[in-house]
Structure 1
Amino acid sequence: MIAVLVAAAVGLLSAFLPFTPAEPYLIAAVTTTSTPPVALGVAAAAGQTVGKVLIFLGARGAIRSTWLRQRLSRRPATAPRHPGRLGTVLARPKAAGARLVEVLERPRQSNGMLLVSAVTGFPPLLAASVYLGRTPMRPAAFALTCLLGRAIRFVTVALAPQLAGY
């Protein structure tokens, strides 16, 4: 029981501090305790989901704050640019990135991106949480998708030692 609570705490901590991943704890807990791997994986997923939801909501609040919007709307005075060849070459990826962001702001694509991020870690879930905080994604949809993806990831990691024969 204590290992499950610690797994949830490690998951919560790792939501904010990427250099403290939950995966090594899960492997250590499975190999040194008799705690069921699925319980450990789900607990770590629940803890990390709580943290990512807080990040998601924080990003949503910060982006909607009047103070920050005023700061972001100020444009620094810059000298006129003549793009030349380098500017033309760099404009293509920038335009493609803008189209990608436009697509990702649609709810179906956002859920898919979040699920892939939660399962694989690419793009990093921390970055996805901040990014998705500025989209119209509902917090409940974010939480459920994040929990599902992290549960898949962490239960798989927790089961790995048994599959390897440890």
Structure 2
Amino acid sequence: MIAVLVAAAVGLLSAFLPFTPAEPYLIATVATTSAPPVALGVAAAAGQTVGKVLIFLGARGAIRSTWLQRRLRRDAPAVPARPGRLGTMLARPKAAGARLVEVLERPHQSTGMLLVSAVTGLPPLLAASVYLGRTPMRPAAFAVTCLLGRAIRFVTVALAPQLAGY
């Protein structure tokens, strides 16, 4: 039981500090104790989801703050036009990036991206949490998707020592 609570705490800590991943804790705990791997994986996923939801909500609040919006408008440098062939070459990736951002702001695409990020770590879930804080995604949808993805990842990692014969 204590190992499961510690797994939740490690998950919560790793949500904010990417250099303290939960995966090594899960593997070591399953390999050296009789703690149930599925419970450990779900606990770590729940802890990390709580942390990522706080990051998501924090990014949403910071991005929508009137102080930050005024500051960004005031400090934004004027972008000079890029004439010639170099300007045309640089404009294409920028336009493609703008289209990608537009697509990711649609709820179904952003949910898919979040699920992939939560399961694979690509893009990093911390970055996805901050990015999605500025989209219309609902916090409940974010939490459920993040929990599902992290549970898949962490339960799979926690079951690895058993599959390897430890």
* TM-score tier after normalising by the smaller chain length: over 0.9
Provide the C-alpha distance between the structure 2 equivalents of 1:77 and 1:140, rounded to a whole number of angstroms.
Answer: 36
Cα deviation digits, residues 31-75 of structure 1 (max 9, x gap): 111000000000000000000000000000001101000011125
Task: Read off the aligned partner of 1:16 and give its amino acid letter.
Answer: F
Report the equivalent of 1:93. Answer: 93
Which residue does 1:14 correspond to in 2? 14
Aligned-partner residue type, residue 161 of structure 1: P
CA distance in 1, matches of 2:8, 2:79: 52
Question: Which residue pairs with 1:159 in the alignment?
Answer: 159
Number of equivalences: 166
Asked if structure 1 preserves the Cα contact closer than 8 Å seen for 2:82 and 2:88, the reply is: no
The one-letter code matched in structure 1 to 2:4 is V
Note if 1:142 corresponds to 2:131.
Answer: no
Percent of paired sites with the same residue: 89
- Normalising by structure 1, we get a TM-score of 0.96
Tell whether 2:102 aligns with 1:102.
yes
> What is the rounded CA distance, in whole Å, between the counterparts of 2:85 and 2:115 in structure 1?
39
Give the CA RMSD over aligned residues.
1.2
Give the Cα–Cα distance (whole angstroms) in 2 for the partners of residues 127 and 73 of structure 1: 23
Aligned pair in 2 of structure 1 residues 138, 76: CA closer, same or farther (>3 Å)? Answer: closer
Query: How far did 1:84 drift?
Result: 2.9
**1:74 aligned counterpart, secondary structure:** helix
Q: Specify the code of the residue in structure 2 equivalent to 1:25.
A: Y
CA drift of 1:100 comes to: 0.5
Q: What is the CA-CA distance between 1:83 and the residue it aligns to?
A: 3.4
What are the Cα deviations for residues 102-158 of structure 1, in whole angstroms up to 9, with x where unaligned?
000000001000000000000000000000000110000000000000000000000
Structure 1 unaligned runs (5+)?
A: none
Correspondence 1:82 to 2:96: no
**2:105–2:136 CA contact under 8 A, matched in 1:** yes
Q: In 2 relative to 1, CA 67–148 (structure 1 residues): closer, same or farther, beyond 3 Å?
A: same
Mind listing any 5+ residue stretches in structure 2 that lack a counterpart? none
Provide the residue aligned with 2:3 in structure 1: 3
Secondary structure class of the residue paired with 2:34: coil
Q: 1:79 to 1:30 in 2, by over 3 A?
A: closer
Aligned equivalents of 1:127, 1:76: Cα separation in 2? 22
Distance 2:80 2:90 in 1: 17
Over 3 Å counting, the alpha-carbon distance change for 1:149 and 1:76 in structure 2 is closer
